Chains A and B, each alone.
Chain A
Amino acid sequence: MSSTEPRRGRRLDFGGFLRMIASDRSPGPAAPAADDPAPEQTPKGSTLLDKSLDRRDAMKALLTGAAAFGAAATAQASIGKSDAEKERRQLEWEEYFKGNYRLMTEQERRETIARLERLAELKRGQRVSIAGTPAREGVLYGYAFNISRCRGYRDCIRACVLENNQDRASTMQYIRIFEIKNGHMSPENGNADYFHEVPQEGHFYLGTQCFQCENPPCVKVCPVGATWKEPDGITVIDYDWCIGCRYCEAACPYWARRFNWHEPKIPRNELNPKQHYLGNRPRKKGVMEKCTFCIQRSREGQLPACAEACPTGARIFGNLLDPNSEIRYVLENKKVFRLKEDLGTEPKFWYFMD
């Protein structure tokens, strides 16, 4: 909105705000009055934060007033559109003042999920379902990666991007598959950028992603508590609480975290509508994200998308606390290792060879 900037300096009081809207209105079909509530920029707006005032009513009053002025200024105002717009802005307003998901009550969690689902519909016209499925009792997720089976096909990366609604514009990927010369043992000597027939003679392939450390340094450094370890061992991020400082990205010894430098872009027909609040719901500009072992799938009993897509069976996922699980078979019968074990991060992601 080109008219947004000059407005700011003139916003002195609520009446001024409304007068300004009325006088600044362009004759265009849109409803600029409803474009930028930015109530924190008005002294009046700050009273809305006062706990004694019901935010919802206050916002309604503000928006109704603004809409009424807008309607008065433009005889051709579209009622339906401004209704949706009003609802969107009210929901966004309420979203703005919600708390950290970890500290929310069940009720608050349900409310924010309902708001986010409705917002997805209002903004993108797409129906999504956002789950808040909690951790299962007696479950601790673990992952094993067979470096003698992986053949570098990268089906896992494709499945991950599609499943987790990663930004296509910056080709964000949680998984790296490193092509490493036999005899070397570290991804630092590998190449994750190959594009030739695989497997290459004399090489092996090693995949990395977030290892869901049992002692995660990324969690310790977060200044606002936006990232934490869930009871089933998955390190999650509240995308709406993250301030984007990237401390966690620096603290992770495994290069697992990804930052959104831009508003993520996902083709409409590729959006995965089956989402989780702490998982694959679309992120926004300026927040951190990473692999969550497909929390929206694993908590429903499914395999993560990468494990399901792997055509060679190199990826093994399961419950570390279940003695009959495949992951336990691997840990008990194979020689396993983890990356940078000396750091004490205790990743729950093991590599093994046949």
Chain B
Amino acid sequence: MKYSAVLVFALVATLAACSGAPAQRPAAQAAKTVTIAISSDEGTLTPFTNESGYPGDNLVKLIFDTLLVQKGESVAPSLATAVETTDNKVFRLPLRTGVTWQDGRPFTAADVVFSVEFYRENLSGDSAIDVRPIRTVKADGDAVTMTLAAPDPEFPLRILSDMAMLPKHLWESVTKVNEAGTDKAIGTGPFRLTAYDKERGYTLTANPGYFGGKPKVDTVKVNVIPQETTQFAALRTGEVSLSVRNVPPQQRASLQSQPNIGIAEGTEFASTMLQFNTTRPPFDRAEVRRALAKAVDVRDLVKTALLGQGTPGNPGFVHPESPVGGPALPPLFDVEAAKRELDALGAKPGPGGVRTLDGKPMSYELLVQSTSTDRLRSAELIRDMLKNVGVEIKVTSLDPDSLDTKVWPDYDVKKGRNYDLTMWGWSAPVMQTSSQIVSLFDSDPEDGNLNIGGFADAGVDKAIDELKATTTPEKRAEAAAALQQKIAEQLPFLTLYYRNGAYAYRKDAYAGWTWQNGLGVLHSGSFVG
């Protein structure tokens, strides 16, 4: 299938070269209709029924608004006009007045209180928000006050700018959230869902009374096209105006050469890493992990597997441009050091050049998702790099479900794990705030719910406690930087790279796409203002 896709692609390129290039048309700054291709169905587009974070959550947020929105690395007003806090524990949020739900009913503070309580009751759903840090929520006139269990300077970015407001009058009767129908997809956002059927996809119609201004596009059609190749073909014909697929580095040039196709690109915070099972010897020893990490040239991975379309991983995990920020740590790669350190560990080369550590040959299995081209390629490169220092890697490719079952059974780190090494990736939100990041490292499985390597280190736990105790943004940034430093030493996993985002669109259909780090181009900012 893959091979065929390449053949077809080559054919497209050849045919494209033969035919006369169509005339370039002017870029459209407003449009009647924009058609977006997504890869799979997204349910009824409520915060509880979309199927994926990206692009499902992005589509939901075109219909539903949040109290604040992410802007650059900070937050900006949306349904709330300001954030008032002195201690980062009690937040008072004055609400925008005169806002109505898309069915005409007014938006009130009662809706906000209801939303928080509703999320507390209903934990499932791709855009559902974990509101447990909010201890109380009270309405007072046109404002709400939220009190947290503990101070959290990142609360506005982490929760307030992500929590879609639900209309109380429609949602209070809902008991099974995953069966919420399209009649519940009523928000305050720039678009309303006017049609949904599995055959023709979704139709979103501009909400002329949107408080942020009338959207520049009248109708957004969203069609499901499972095949990447078909999506790009439909983009070439103009049947589709935007594909939500991240353009693979190999196809970029060919798409870009088309006169009417533009590529919107920017930084993405989805990360790819080499995960160690730190509960299984010898990966339970930081020295071993460090030595292996030094043998891996992450720059080369970006150059070879991503054709340069990415950023080499920061040993401290966090992308330098992420809101969490922090100093970029120096790269670890140093083959000679890796060899020296392995020697020092007593790992002498044995037969076939494979080192022996503690009486066992250094030969390990590396799992990789069979569906990911760049991870497959990277896994092979890593195998070759580790071979250089006398460590043998057997790459095993598995379908994602089988791999998850080995690495993260039931998505519950308490259930253990069964692997040596695996290629892994975290979605962008994991890097959004430092309180999110700590869940990767905390040795307590309740707090370290993303700690899939079973990593435990007293020093790191202490740094996490210190971070959690901070109450101001500045102090928290400092603590986050310290934590990153520790992670770069301990290396529960080696962060390999962050892929760049590159999304192809028809310039002649609509060219108003604006890039927002963490969201890409599919957000209300691309249509309003």
Q: Do A and B bind each other?
A: no
Chain B residues close to A by CB (< 8 Å): none
